[in-house]
Amino acid sequence: MAKVKVGPGPYLYPMPVVLVGAQVKGRPNYLTVAFAGIVNLQPAIIALGLGRKHYTNLGIKKNKTFSVNIPSPKLVKATDFCGIYSGHRVDKSGVFKSFYGKLKTAPMIEECAVNLECRLVRIIPLEADELVLGEIMEVYVDKKCLTRGAPDVRKIKPMVFTVPDNRYWALGKAVGPAWKIGKTFSGKHK
Ligand SMILES: Cc1cc2nc3c(=O)[nH]c(=O)nc-3n(C[C@H](O)[C@H](O)[C@H](O)COP(=O)(O)O)c2cc1C
C-alpha cells in the first residue's frame, strides 16, 4: 500500500467536540475542546488537553471543578463561538443557559443533552498545554435523549471534529455491536 508521510500532528480521527465549563470570577465560562477522552473506567476519569493561558483554566484551578458538555449540530454556531473568543476578552456567560449540580461550582449547559460534572483530580503540565484530569462525579442527561432509561446516542447527536479541514461533522451509521461482532471474525489468527 502506498503511504505518504504527512508529518506529526493531531490526526486522530475523529475527535470529540465538547464544551468545557468553569466558574470564573463569579460567572460561567465555556470553551470548545477537541482534545478530550476517558482515561480511566472506575472511577470514571476524563482527560482534557487545555492551552494553559485559557480563561477557563482559571476557574478550574480555583474551584477544582469543571463540566464537560456535549453539543449537538443545532449548537454548532455557539460551540464555534466559544472556540474563537476567549473569556479574557468576551463575556461568554450568556451564550448558554447554565445550571449547577451537586458540586455547586461547575456550570453546566442546559441546551446540551449530556453534562458531565467533574472534580479536578490533577493537572499535569505538558510542553504547551496542560493535561487536566477530572473525575466524573455525576452525569446529567436530557430525559428526551433516553431510550428505555439509557442515554441514546441517536438522540444525543454528538458532533465530531476533523483536521486539517477544521470541520464539524454529525455522526454516521452504526456498523456493528462491540464485544460481539469480533466473535464472527474469520481472518488470520491462532
Ligand atoms: C473546534 C475547536 C476545538 C478546540 N479544541 C481545543 C482543545 O482541545 N484544547 C484547547 O485548549 N483549546 C481548544 N480550542 C480553542 C479554545 O476553545 C479557544 O482558544 C477558546 O477561545 C478559549 O476560551 P477561554 O479563554 O474562554 O477559556 C478549540 C477551538 C475550536 C474551534
In a domain, 75, yes or no: yes
Which amino acid type is present at position 97? K
pLDDT for res 175 = 97
In a domain, 24, yes or no: yes
Q: Is 80 in the pocket of ligand 1 (CB under 6 A)?
A: yes
In a domain, 8, yes or no: no
In a domain, 121, yes or no: yes
pLDDT tens string 71-95: 999 999 999 999 999 999 999 999 9
| Buried-exposed string 143-177: b where 16+ CB fall within 10 A, e elsewhere | eebeeeeeeeeeebbbbbbeeeeeebeeeeeeeee
How far, in Å, from the CA of 54 to the mean position of ligand 1?
Answer: 8
CATH code at 125? 2.30.110.10
pLDDT band at residue 19, thresholds of 50, 70 and 90? very high
Among protein residues, the one whose CA lies closest to atom 19 of ligand 1: 83
Annotate 29-74 with three-state secondary structure: EEEEECCEEEEECCCCEEEEEEECCCHHHHHHHHHCEEEEEECCHH
Among protein residues, the one whose CA lies closest to atom 31 of ligand 1: 83
Among protein residues, the one whose CA lies closest to atom 6 of ligand 1: 33
pLDDT tens string 94-137: 999 999 999 999 999 999 999 999 999 999 999 989 999 999 99
Question: How far is the C-alpha of 76 from the C-alpha of 102, rounded, in Å?
Answer: 28
Q: Which atom of ligand 1 is nearest to the CA of 49?
A: 9
Q: Of 127, 132, 121, which is closest to residue 18 (Cα–Cα)?
A: 132
Question: Contact at 8 Å (CB) between 113 and 145?
Answer: yes
pLDDT band at residue 1, thresholds of 50, 70 and 90? confident
The one-character DSSP state at 154 is H
Question: How far is the C-alpha of 85 from the C-alpha of 92, rounded, in Å?
Answer: 8
Question: Contact at 8 Å (CB) between 49 and 57?
Answer: no
In a domain, 190, yes or no: no
Record the cell numbers describing residue 13, joined without a space. 480521527
How far, in Å, from the CA of 43 to the mean position of ligand 1?
Answer: 26
Record the cell numbers describing residue 151, joined without a space. 442515554
Q: Is 31 in the pocket of ligand 1 (CB under 6 A)?
A: yes
Q: Is 22 in the pocket of ligand 1 (CB under 6 A)?
A: no
Q: Which atom of ligand 1 is nearest to the CA of 85?
A: 21
Among protein residues, the one whose CA lies closest to atom 11 of ligand 1: 50
- By most ligand atoms within 8 Å of CB, the mutation choice from 54, 76, 162 for ligand 1 is 54
Full domain range(s) for residue 101: 15-184
Among protein residues, the one whose CA lies closest to atom 5 of ligand 1: 33
State how many domains the chain has: 1
The one-character DSSP state at 13 is S
pLDDT for res 189 = 83
Among protein residues, the one whose CA lies closest to atom 29 of ligand 1: 83
In a domain, 189, yes or no: no
Record the cell numbers describing residue 157, joined without a space. 447527536
In a domain, 140, yes or no: yes
Bridge partners (DSSP) listed for residue 109: 98
In a domain, 2, yes or no: no
